[in-house]
Structure 1
Amino acid sequence: MTTNSFPATFMRGGTSNGLMIHRSDLPKDESKWQPILSSAMGSPDPYGRQLNGMGSGISSTSKVCVISKSDREDADVDYTFVQVGIKDGSLDMAGNCGNMSSAVGPFALNERLVPHIEPLKDGIEVKVRMFNTNTSKILHSTSSIDGAESRYEPGGEYSIDGVPGTGSRITLSFLDPAGAKTGKALPTGNPVDMLQLEDGNMIKASLTDIANPGVFVLASDIGIPGDIHPDTLGSKAELMARLEHIRREGAKAMTLNPDVQSVPKIILLSPPSDADAADGVNIVCRALSMQQAHKAVPLTLALNLGASCRLPGTLADQIAVDTAGKESVVIAHASGRLEVGSAMVDGKIESALLHRTARVLMKGEVFYTVDD
């Protein structure tokens, strides 16, 4: 067993955190990343806690972004998102992560990966153009800089549910987000499909691919309340197994590999209560990620859901309230609320956007062990 290290920055992005690594500090051959990144995060760990690494035992904190300067004319940096399996140490690079994407722009600014910084607003905001290799999509990240050093400015008055305190607002714009993995917003061509389960029953599902693929089902069809607490949902082993089966059937219908846990994810939908609707909520969701009940909602799936509310006939469109004529949707999730926007032109999703905050937590050397 040999111990080595690599330089990295540990950052919070939205409601996730993870390691930010220069691509030049990892092997050129991505097939050699697995033992390095899994060990750095503390996986594999049969106890599910990742005490021997930088992870903390839940899917939203077992993440890595690998960043480099881009050779593309339409991007400043390229980045690859890596979801590290907690118990098995596998690396899943099938999809993107919206929360960690919000940390890429600030990291690129701090590490001087953006060759030409062009101030946008009073010289205090800049745009970083990012190419996500997982989905082959372009994102724009607009954030504040300190002015003097042109570094990311984390301080501000913007707050997001699920994160204490405030920070400067980061705006992420996902350009042409439809068909991130399948090439189509509706991979089957249908706003609603019927999935056959192993017990012979059928269930309605909207299979949509916007920013990241999702399998959307109604909480009422599963027999649970739409505002169920994640801990309660996660404690129901039989229900969780059934939801995983539904997710896998949805993946097959979308011609995706059902064995890949990161895409598609499954989301349970319900309409808001009258009180919440009066307070501006348009739709309620509960999310699963990597066979765990998510404490909030994966951002790319929130973007998917927000856009799906504007796709005629989908389950989201059917149950969302008061969305007519609006470009943004307020989603109530397990940790609060999230507003996501989408721009539609002639029925096509031109862009989707959301707001996050991010912060550098630590910078230094991360140690890992590999077999000799």
Structure 2
Amino acid sequence: MASSQIKVPATYMRGGTSKGVFFNLEDLPTEAQIPGQARDNLLLRVIGSPDPYSKQIDGMGGATSSTSKTVIVSRSTRSDHDVDYLFGQVAIDKPFVDWSGNCGNLSAAVGPFAIHAGLIDQQRIPHTGTVEVRVWQANIAKSIVVHVPIVDGCVQETGLFELDGVTFPAAEIQVDFMSPGSSEGSMFPTGNEVDTLEVPSVGTFNATLINAGIPTIFIEADALDYQGTELQEAINNDQVALDRFESIRAYGALKMGLIDSLEQASSRQHTPKIAFVSKPKSYVSSSGKQIDKQQVDLLVRALSMGKLHHAMMGTAAVAIAVAACIPGTLVNIACGGGERESVTFGHPSGTLKVGAKALKLADAWSAEKASMSRSARILMEGFVRVPSDIFE
């Protein structure tokens, strides 16, 4: 007899240049309300992983790192926050969910989802104005403030704000990542703004290893014989290049103390990120838009889950903002050096402006916050269905 299916309340949302399946913790099956294999099994099946075809045809995933995502939101256990937010990056072709980091893009959708799900007290919501949704990011133990626009007592989703990497305009949502540096140890795990990273059989690179927003490895584009203007097909169609990036990422993770052995890197795909930077150059974006070098302070290309990202991960944008504001990092050098509180960078889909405020106290750098504008929208709401034997 064929196995029956269970249905779970869910909301499919876009946040920034990502999209994922959102759940209210209380709506999950009892087995999945606590961390563990049962929860992972549910999310894997919802998204359609593992899929040896790398298409996620039998699930909600879109077969890219930007669309293979899940979010669990609940009322916060902390009096100074509204909701707790847990992010799960679902591997496409492997049976695991990576809980090691945050998704900065989907962070923008957590505020609107919390309001739609009734997790924000009604008296906090004005007839017209903005609600500051105070989010506890449980993966990395950090605070995020999502400024959600309200019109006629409802979340405003449509608008004129344009975000490169997203086809249609929507309402602007400001997202503030509070104290985005490392919760444990230094923002620079090695204590240096620039390190020498030796990668056997690949090369030796100057690298900025920073933990702000998400642990990130920055290297120079020309050290890899790139211009910094590359689009996805230039990298993602080159398996030799992808393997080289993964080797650099693994050795960088080891140097940052994120893993104890190189073998662990394969099961920690979400973090750290790896990105390469260059000084401003003119290029044509993936949508055909001309980006003039005068529009940007630097160029950045970043990889996520082993592939060049089509735009920029939100958490990596935080790392870019913070690193750009700290003299001496490779990011800061690429954008001309000196002190700054914002930076506009070029990515494959266009440009993005991000802000940050960094301070140096007792010979150690810290960041007060990083801010960027995103947008978010509900795409579908109702139920996802999964075979009932997933918990067996």
TM-score interval w.r.t. the shorter chain? over 0.9
Q: What does the per-residue CA deviation read over 1:234-270, in whole Å, with 9 as the maximum and x for residues that have no partner?
A: 1111111111000001100111122301010100111
Please name the residue that 2:226 is paired with. Answer: 224
Aligned partners of 1:111 and 1:345: how far apart in 2? 37
Contact 1:206 1:216 in 2 (8 A): yes
Tell me the amino acid that sits aligned with residue 183 of structure 1.
Answer: G
The Cα offsets for residues 333-362 of structure 1, whole Å up to 9 and x where unpaired, read as: 000011100123455310000000100000
Amino acid at match of 2:323: S
Q: Out of 50, 62, 74, which is 1:68 matched to? A: 74
1:6 aligns with 8
**Do 1:155 and 1:168's aligned partners in 2 also have CA atoms closer than 8 Å?**
yes
Structure 1 residues 201, 292: CA separation in 2 closer, same or farther (over 3 Å shift)?
Answer: closer
Partner of 2:346: 332
Match of 1:57 in 2: 63
* Residue 175 (structure 1) aligned to one of 151, 171, 178: 178
- Using the TM superposition, give the Cα deviation of residue 117 of structure 1 relative to its aligned residue in structure 2, in angstroms: 4.8
Deviations 1:35-74 (A, max 9, x none): 1111111111101010000011001001011000012022
Q: Work out whether 1:271 is the aligned partner of 2:279.
A: yes
Which residue matches 1:242?
244
Taking the aligned partners of 2:202 and 2:68, their CA distance within structure 1 comes to 36
Query: Which residues of 2 match residues 1-372 of structure 1 at below 5 A?
Result: 1-26=3-28, 27-31=32-36, 32-115=38-121, 117-118=123-124, 123-147=128-152, 150-180=153-183, 182-199=184-201, 201-257=203-259, 258-259=265-266, 260-273=268-281, 279-321=294-336, 324=338, 326-346=340-360, 348-369=366-387, 370-371=389-390, 372=392
Q: Which runs of 5+ in 1 are unaligned?
A: none
Alpha-carbon distance between aligned partners in 2 of 1:247 and 1:175, rounded to the nearest angstrom: 26
- Kept in 1, the 8 Å contact 2:103–2:315? The answer is yes
Q: Deviations over 1:117-167 (max 9, x none)?
A: 5468x94211100000011000000011123xx331102111100112211
* Matched pairs, number: 367
Please state how far the C-alpha of 1:24 moved relative to its aligned partner.
1.6
Moved more, 182-191 or 213-222: 182-191
Q: In 1, distance between residues paired with 2:345 and 2:85? A: 28
Q: 1:48 and 1:123 mapped to 2: Cα distance? A: 44
Whether contact under 8 Å (2:325, 2:342) holds in the other structure is: no
Q: Which amino acid aligns with 1:57?
A: A
Give the Cα separation in 1 of the matches to 2:385 and 2:300: 38
1: CA distance between counterparts of 2:202 and 2:227?
23
Contact 2:180-2:369 within 8 A present in 1 as well: yes
Cα deviation code 1:185-219 (max 9, x no counterpart):
11110111111112273111110000110010111
Q: What's the C-alpha RMSD, in Å, of the aligned pairs?
A: 1.8
Q: Which runs of 5+ in 2 are unaligned?
A: 260-264, 284-290
**Residue identity matched to 1:102:** A
- The percent identity for this pair of structures is 35
Instruction: Tell me the CA shift for residue 310 of structure 1.
Output: 1.4
Indicate conservation of the 8 Å contact 1:284/1:333, yes or no: yes
Q: What one-letter code is carried by the residue in structure 1 that aligns with 2:222? A: S
- Contact between 1:117 and 1:126, CA under 8 Å: does it hold in 2? no
State the SS of the aligned residue for 1:82.
strand
Please give the alpha-carbon distance, in whole angstroms, between the structure 2 residues aligned to 1:345 and 1:223.
34
Distance 1:117 1:283 in 2: 44
Distance 1:117 1:261 in 2: 41
Whole-angstrom distance in 2 between the partners of 1:189 and 1:112: 44
| Aligned counterparts of 2:180 and 2:56: Cα–Cα separation in 1 | 33
Shift, 1:229, TM fit: 1.4
For 1:336 and 1:89, how far apart are their aligned partners in 2?
33
TM-score, normalized by length of structure 2?
0.89
The aligned residue for residue 286 of structure 2 is none
Q: Which stretch of the first structure deviates more once superposed, 235-244 or 76-85? A: 235-244
User: Amino acid of the residue matched to residue 198 of structure 1?
Assistant: P
Whole-Å separation in 2 of the counterparts to 1:328 and 1:354: 10
Q: Classify the secondary structure of the residue corresponding to 1:365.
A: strand
Q: How far is the alpha carbon of 1:169 from its aligned partner? A: 0.8
For residues 117 and 179 of structure 1, do their structure 2 counterparts lie closer, same or farther at Cα, with a shift above 3 Å needed? Answer: farther
Q: What's the secondary structure of 1:60's corresponding residue?
A: coil
* Cα distance in 2 for residues equivalent to 1:82 and 1:71: 20
